[in-house]
Amino acid sequence: MSQTIQPPILPEGSPDRAVNCEVALEAAFAALVAESEAQGWTAQETAETLLKIATEHINLLGAAVDPKA
């Protein structure tokens, strides 16, 4: 499940940087989900767990979750 994540092409502060990050992570995310499901975890279990991990991570960063980002 090795996917290369591309570096940012936009500088910090750019209004489109979040979209740039999303595009950079899409393939690796899809591979992670596919591998999880191939190992026997359901799509629901996988989605809920990834959301939990991401939420915990953002809480550790001390940032508020912004669903528009």
Give residue-wise pLDDT tens across range 20-43. 999 999 999 999 999 999 999 999
What are 52-67's pLDDT values in tens digits?
Answer: 999 999 999 986 655 5
HSE of 26, CA atoms in CB hemisphere, 13 A: 6
Q: Could you give the CA distance from residue 67 to residue 46 in angstroms, rounded to a whole number?
A: 20
Q: What is the pTM of this model?
A: 0.77
Q: Could you give the CA distance from residue 42 to residue 49 in angstroms, rounded to a whole number?
A: 11
Q: Could you give the CA distance from residue 66 to residue 58 in angstroms, rounded to a whole number?
A: 10
Q: Encoding tokens for residue 8?
A: 């940012």
Q: Encoding tokens for residue 12?
A: 């910090």
Q: Is the pLDDT of residue 2 over 70?
A: no
